[in-house]
């Protein structure tokens, strides 16, 4: 598997940005609506998706070495 890049990258910049957005949405964000429209849940799902891709790539690197 190739290293995830672009919209799938799990970089330090994405991690910091994601945590800041989640914190801001928690403090001053819109009220919770349905799970499909809640921006906090969307941000968490995107973070989890990218983390899973990154971990899968790391497992591939360990097996290849």
Pair of tokens at residue 27 = 């403090």
> In the prediction, which pLDDT does 41 show?
86
Whether the CB-CB separation of 59 and 1 falls below 8 Å is answered with no
Determine the 3-state secondary structure of 40 from DSSP: helix
pLDDT, tens digit only, all 65 positions of the chain: 788 888 888 899 999 999 999 899 888 877 666 767 788 888 899 999 999 999 999 998 888 76
| Two tokens, residue 1 | 């598997």
Q: What residues contact 44, with CB distance under 8 A and at least 6 apart?
A: 22
């Amino acid at each position: 598997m190739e290293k995830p890049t672009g919209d799938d990258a799990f970089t330090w910049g994405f991690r910091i940005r994601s945590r800041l957005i989640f914190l801001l949405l928690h403090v001053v964000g819109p009220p919770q609506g349905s799970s499909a429209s809640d921006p906090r849940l969307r941000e968490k799902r995107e973070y989890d998706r990218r983390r899973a891709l990154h971990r899968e790539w790391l497992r591939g690197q360990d097996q290849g070495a």
